[in-house]
Amino acid sequence: MITTGLYIHYPFCVRKCSYCDFYSVPFHRESSEAYLQALMQELSLTAETRRGVIKSIYLGGGTPSLIEPAFIESLLAGIQHSFEVGPECEITIEMNPGTSDPDRLKSYKRAGINRVSLGVQSLHNEELQILGRVHSRDQVLQAVEWINQAGFENYGLDLIYGIPGQTMTKWLATLQGAADLKPRHLSCYLLQMENTVPLEAALAEGRWKRPDEEEEADMYYAMLSFLHTHNYQHYEISNFCSPGFSCVHNLNYWEGGSYIGLGAGAVSFWEGQRYENTPEISAYIENLSRGAGPPYQVLESLDGTALAADAMIMGLRMTRGINITHLSRRLGLDVMELFHQSISIGLEEGLLELNGPWLRLTQRGYFLSNRVFIQMLDVL
Amino acid sequence: MDNIRNFCIIAHIDHGKSTLADRLMEYTGALTQREMREQFLDTLDLERERGITIKLTPVRLEYTSIAGEKYIFNLIDTPGHVDFSYEVSRSLAACDGALLVVDASQGIEAQTLANVYQAMDLDLEIIGVLNKIDLPNAEPERVMEEIEDILGIDPDEVILVSAKLGQGIQDVLEAAAAKIPPPRGEAEGPLKALIFDSYFDSYRGAISYIRVFDGQVKKGDIIQMMSTGREFEVSEVGVFAPRMKGVSVLKAGEVGYLAAGLKNVLDTRVGDTITLAGNPAGQPLSGYRRIKPVVYCGLYPVENSEFEKLRDALEKLRLNDASLQFEPETSEALGFGFRCGFLGLLHMEIINQRLEREYDLELIVTAPSVVYKIILENGEVRDVDNPAHWPSAGETREVQEPYVQATIMVPDEFIGSIMELCQEKRGTFKNMEYLSLHRVMLMYELPLSEIIYDFFDALKSRTKGYASFDYEIIGYLPSDLVKLDIMLNGEPVDALSFIVHKEKSYARARLITEKLRKIIPRQLYEVAIQASIGSRIIARESVKARRKDVLAKCYGGDITRKKKLLEKQKEGKKRMKQIGRVEVPKETFITVLNMDDSK
């Protein structure tokens, strides 16, 4: 039986962040409850058609830490009941500082959650304000303390750089503050926004200036060396961990594994097809309440070559790269031959390197990786 | 023949010529309401979009006067842009009269004048029409005065019209019947027919639009083109009613079309005279000249593999446009393409757009160039229309460039800024005349190379749109010109070289290198941009190396969308041209001549 990841989407938020284009709506008790009911319904419907061993569960959003522990408990029980759950299954909940308390965290732990991903973003209050976050620096420190108190050994922090007004000094201070909290995992993202988000409009008005390309690249490479000296492994373009604590759930995406997405707007990847549930909460609830599956659309169907291009684009995001031999065997085609030209260009440009069967991005290649990926699309 | 009236409408651009033609057709029933769409005679999409006429389209109207007399009117619409002035002159030659349309709010403009003088030279009866009298800012009295003072037309004879509202249309038709003389000609004499336009029909071959002066022509006749002596058998003659309709014969005085299985429009040259092979006329009608392009540029496919497709497309366009010239050329930077000659910049722009739209080609257009005359040390005179063929300084004794006489009309408050502009463009002041209390006509001699690109735009923006402008080429004058080369990473890019006056070379070089810095995207490695004259570098800039090209975040839920972003980026890259190791956007090459810094 195949192994799979399970993603569960909870679209409610206390407030929308100024850089966010995810589908989310303001928290509302009744609709949240109706939504969670529908989620349970979708879970049992899905289990009828998709069989697999679950190796990771990820509760994302939105702000899933708004969900009552009692529900988490029945949700995880429901999953146990419907699917075979692997022994070491990683079960993550996303959390925003200021949306939880020690009791709730302890209850989550008891319910079976074994990993917390905390949306810190910055340790400077003025930057948090620009990003439209509801929390402060102090609330971050407190949240981490409570996470520790609750007994979570494995937790990660999300950080953002390239924030309008941010300087290298401020970025390094945030990194230092984050390292001091000793998380097992760090995701550090360059701020990249859709044109439609409020922060872009504010930038267009000239209220703040964002760091330029040079500064952003400098921040990225400063981060690589900072985290290296603090014993974090760089394992994906934007992800770092203590040895042995890479995120199982996300690795599955980059390795091209199958995944099931539950909830409004959630995406599944199953037998070469990507599906997306309707992002409309009301339509989602309405369909499931009468026993039907949620409306969905097929985003793409991938055949051999397209699967290979996907595997390259996703796989090269990992610093260890791709094992060409293994990938060729898995896809039943000669990856080296198929991507010969694209790989040669990447090698020649110094953005890729080849070490035995392992093809990977170079240091310079990480922040110029689109250039490499675009080449990979040439085979389509 | 007595009841035929052949006339055209002449006007400055936007004065309502095409709208008036529409109303005349509507009034005489040549088109039913259902068939009417705005500006029927402008058949090319581009014409309709831009509100200008490029190709001539004749139409035949049947009119019964108030007195009960039946007339046949042949109305010939004319292009309103200076690029096509030869075509205007040929369509005027096919007429016996002209409706002169003047905008009642604008007054006489540069092109009105140019066209009217041509019509007067050809002894056409001119009927003044004051259009747009419905506009709130119309000043009929002032404009009538201008018409009287400048053109000597009796204001009492001028017809007041609102083509938009359909007012005064019958008066125009009555005046055409009463004042325009019927065609004169020898019905029994040997055939003399003037070709005033031609177009290519994929079924019938090249079709000539003709005005028969003497004799007659019918299906089966063997005709002879007097400029080339080539002979063809007539397969069809007809009239425009308003769509093409076959008739048995076209007689002296009539306007219509003629098909003779011609494979190429080059066989039916505008201005040529058609006669019968069996009974040829002694002398052709006067005025035919071969039209020579004044502006040249290189056209290259972005994808080198599309060279043949481009050749086919150019050949097809030439079937409808005998003034388009092209021959293959090679550029080190751009590969295989064509050097193309045009009547002017509008003509060039139109051809370029038609190639991209109708033939789905992605093109690189190099900076337009005029034709320079270079006198070499050995006395040889060379025509150079491509900076790549510019001889070295050591070989050159003298360089000459084409000059024009420009006529500019403006309200007098703008005289200062116009003079300043002409000065910047190396112009020589010739004359200034008051047209009325506050309107002047300025005459300047200017190098053609200075006006082909952005002169008209500059003129418009400095005069709030009030200036009008026309020019004619007057000949060649010596000039201190140099060739400016552009290098990317030390490699000269032939397609970016251009010719500039020595005094302006430093400023231009700085402007261009700065522009290139802005337009060339960051690459994997730093790109050095240099401008040089001979081996001397006179300006430099650099494009910093790309450092960020990354999607920081990519997970299961958004892989599809992120891949679309990559696809889009890939498409963008495809529209780039690779020169050595540098990728440049295809607009780069035309940018070089665009000196308007705001763009």
Q: What is the ipTM of this complex?
A: 0.94
CB contacts, 8 Å: A190 with chain B:
548, 550, 552
A65 and A164 part of one domain: yes
Tell me the two tokens of residue B335: 């590969």
* Cα distances (Å, whole numbers) of residue A74 to A26, A39, A43, B551: 24, 11, 12, 37
d(CA B594, CA B519): 13
CB contacts, 8 Å: A371 with chain B:
524, 546, 549
Tell me the two tokens of residue B421: 């502009």
Residues 213..252 of A with a Cβ closer than 8 Å to B: which?
213-214, 216-217, 220, 237-238, 250, 252
Determine, for residues B570 and A374 on separate chains, whether the beta-carbon distance falls below 8 Å: yes
d(CA A79, CA A42): 11
Determine, for residues B552 and A237 on separate chains, whether the beta-carbon distance falls below 8 Å: yes
Determine, for residues B555 and A217 on separate chains, whether the beta-carbon distance falls below 8 Å: no
| Number of structural domains found in chain A | 2
Determine, for residues A192 and B553 on separate chains, whether the beta-carbon distance falls below 8 Å: yes
pLDDT of residue B599: 35
Neighbouring C-beta atoms of residue A101, cutoff 10 Å: 13
Contact (CB, 8 A) for B6 and B251: no
* Cα distances (Å, whole numbers) of residue A367 to A189, A216, A363, A375, B506: 12, 10, 8, 15, 39
* Helix ranges (DSSP H) in B65-133: 85-93, 110-121
Contact (CB, 8 A) for B222 and B231: yes
Residue at A318 is within a domain: no
Question: Phi and psi dihedrals of B64, rounded to 5?
Answer: -105, 120
d(CA A195, CA B376): 58
Nearest to B84 by CA among B349, B268, B328, B272: B349
Q: How far apart are the first and last CA of chain A?
A: 30
What is the pLDDT confidence band of residue A22, given thresholds at 50, 70 and 90?
Answer: confident
**Length of chain A in terms of residues written:** 380
Tell me the two tokens of residue B83: 């690029």
Nearest to A371 among B549, B552, B553 (CB): B549
Residues 293..322 of A with a Cβ closer than 8 Å to B: which?
299-300, 310, 313-314, 317
User: Best mutation site among B522, B544, B546, B555 for testing chain A: the one with the most A CBs within 10 Å?
Assistant: B555
**pLDDT tens figures, B534-570:** 889 999 999 999 999 999 999 988 899 999 999 999 9
Nearest to A370 among B544, B551, B556 (CB): B551
**Closest B-chain CA to A237:** B552
Determine, for residues B547 and A237 on separate chains, whether the beta-carbon distance falls below 8 Å: no
A84 and A164 part of one domain: yes
User: Best mutation site among A187, A190, A370, A380 for testing chain B: the one with the most B CBs within 10 Å?
Assistant: A370
The alpha-carbon gap from A309 to the nearest alpha carbon of chain B, in Å, equals 10
Least confident stretch, A366-375, B10-19, B411-420, B491-500: B10-19
Residue at A317 is within a domain: no
Q: What percent of chain A has pLDDT over 90?
A: 86
CB contacts, 8 Å: A267 with chain B:
556-560
pLDDT of residue B579: 86
CB contacts, 8 Å: B545 with chain A:
none
Q: How many helices (H) and strands (E) does chain B have?
A: 14, 33
The answer to whether A173 faces chain B, any CB pair under 8 Å, is no
Question: Phi and psi dihedrals of A267, rounded to 5?
Answer: -110, 140
Tell me the two tokens of residue B347: 């003509």
CB contacts, 8 Å: A302 with chain B:
none
The answer to whether A121 faces chain B, any CB pair under 8 Å, is no
**pLDDT tens figures, A98-110:** 888 999 999 999 9
d(CA B590, CA A268): 48
**Closest A-chain CA to B558:** A267
Burial of residue B60 (CB within 10 Å: 0-12, 13-18, 19+) is buried
The rounded Cα B156 to chain-centroid distance in angstroms is 35
d(CA B423, CA B446): 9
d(CA B149, CA B144): 9
Neighbouring C-beta atoms of residue B133, cutoff 10 Å: 21
DSSP 3-state of A255: coil
The alpha-carbon gap from B461 to the nearest alpha carbon of chain A, in Å, equals 28
Determine, for residues A310 and B559 on separate chains, whether the beta-carbon distance falls below 8 Å: yes
The answer to whether A366 faces chain B, any CB pair under 8 Å, is yes
Section A261-288 average pLDDT? 95
Quick check: B44 pLDDT over 70?
Answer: no
* Cα distances (Å, whole numbers) of residue B485 to A169, B46, B369, B591: 45, 35, 14, 14
Nearest to A127 by CA among A43, A219, A217: A219
pLDDT of residue B50: 53
pLDDT of residue B212: 95
Section A150-163 average pLDDT? 97
The alpha-carbon gap from B567 to the nearest alpha carbon of chain A, in Å, equals 7
Nearest to A238 among B553, B558, B573 (CB): B553
The alpha-carbon gap from A349 to the nearest alpha carbon of chain B, in Å, equals 8
d(CA A271, CA A50): 10
Determine, for residues B524 and A7 on separate chains, whether the beta-carbon distance falls below 8 Å: no
pLDDT of residue B330: 92
- The domain spanning residue A120 has which CATH number? 3.20.20.70
A87 and A231 part of one domain: yes
Quick check: A15 pLDDT over 90?
Answer: no
> CA quadruple A285, A287, A290, A291: dihedral positive or negative?
negative
Q: Domain range for residue A133?
A: 3-254
Contact (CB, 8 A) for B35 and B241: no
Residues 6+ apart with CB under 8 A from B381: B373, B374, B375
What is the bridge-based pairing of β-strands B295-301 and B363-365? antiparallel
Nearest to B557 among A237, A266, A313 (CB): A266
pLDDT of residue A171: 98
A60 and A203 part of one domain: yes
Contact (CB, 8 A) for B40 and B28: no
Contact (CB, 8 A) for B154 and B45: no
Residues 6+ apart with CB under 8 A from B156: none
A337 and A196 part of one domain: no
Q: What percent of chain B has pLDDT over 70?
A: 93
CB contacts, 8 Å: A300 with chain B:
560
Angle at B73 between CA B69 and CA B75, to 5 degrees: 160
Residue at A212 is within a domain: yes
A80 and A177 part of one domain: yes
A236 and A329 part of one domain: no
The answer to whether B573 faces chain A, any CB pair under 8 Å, is yes
Residue at A194 is within a domain: yes
**pLDDT tens figures, A206-242:** 888 999 999 999 999 999 999 999 999 999 999 999 9
Chosen domain end from A254, A285, A311? A254
Nearest to A145 by CA among A97, A90, A91, A185: A97
**pLDDT tens figures, B345-383:** 888 888 998 898 889 998 999 888 999 999 999 999 999
Q: Which residue did the predictor score with more confidence, B291 or A170?
A: A170
CB contacts, 8 Å: A367 with chain B:
547-550
Nearest to B552 among A192, A267, A314 (CB): A192
**Per-residue H/E/C for B330-381:** EECCCEEEEEEEECCHHHHHHHHHHHHHHCCCCEEECCCECCEEEEECCCCE
A94 and A219 part of one domain: yes
Quick check: A9 pLDDT over 60?
Answer: yes
Nearest to A217 among B548, B560, B573 (CB): B548
**Closest A-chain CA to B544:** A214
Share the mean pLDDT of chain A. Answer: 94
**pLDDT tens figures, B452-476:** 877 888 888 898 878 888 888 899 9
**Closest B-chain CA to A212:** B548
The rounded Cα B497 to chain-centroid distance in angstroms is 25
Determine, for residues B553 and A189 on separate chains, whether the beta-carbon distance falls below 8 Å: yes
d(CA B502, CA B280): 55
A339 and A242 part of one domain: no
Residue at A270 is within a domain: no
pLDDT of residue B597: 43
DSSP 3-state of B210: strand
Residue at A316 is within a domain: no
Q: What is the DSSP letter of B265?
A: G
Determine, for residues B524 and A213 on separate chains, whether the beta-carbon distance falls below 8 Å: no
A220 and A334 part of one domain: no
Determine, for residues B573 and A300 on separate chains, whether the beta-carbon distance falls below 8 Å: no
* Cα distances (Å, whole numbers) of residue B534 to A333, B107, B333, B376, B482: 55, 50, 19, 17, 9
- Angle, helices A369-377 vs A304-315, to 10°: value is 170
DSSP 3-state of B44: coil
Q: Which residue did the predictor score with more confidence, A184 or B281?
A: A184
Quick check: B49 pLDDT over 80?
Answer: no
A243 and A339 part of one domain: no
Section B139-151 average pLDDT? 88
pLDDT of residue B58: 83
What Rg, from alpha-carbon coordinates, does chain B have?
A: 27
CB contacts, 8 Å: A373 with chain B:
566
What is the pLDDT confidence band of residue B598, given thresholds at 50, 70 and 90?
Answer: very low
CB contacts, 8 Å: A252 with chain B:
556
Residue at A240 is within a domain: yes
Residues 6+ apart with CB under 8 A from B209: B56, B58, B195, B196, B197, B198, B199, B255, B256, B257
Q: Which residues pair with B431 in a beta bridge?
A: B443
Quick check: A195 pLDDT over 90?
Answer: no
* Cα distances (Å, whole numbers) of residue A100 to A122, A158, A272, B27, B396: 18, 17, 38, 81, 84
A217 and A365 part of one domain: no
The answer to whether A253 faces chain B, any CB pair under 8 Å, is yes
**Closest B-chain CA to A213:** B548
Determine, for residues A374 and B556 on separate chains, whether the beta-carbon distance falls below 8 Å: no
Return left, alpha or beta for B484; rule: phi > 0 is left, psi -120 to 50 is alpha, else beta.
beta
Nearest to A299 among B546, B560, B566 (CB): B560
CB contacts, 8 Å: A269 with chain B:
556, 559
What is the pLDDT confidence band of residue A156, given thresholds at 50, 70 and 90?
Answer: very high
**pLDDT tens figures, A276-321:** 999 999 999 999 999 999 999 999 999 889 999 999 999 999 999 9
Contact (CB, 8 A) for B96 and B5: yes
Chosen domain end from A224, A254, A284? A254
d(CA A42, CA A38): 6
Chosen domain end from A194, A224, A254? A254
Residue at A297 is within a domain: no
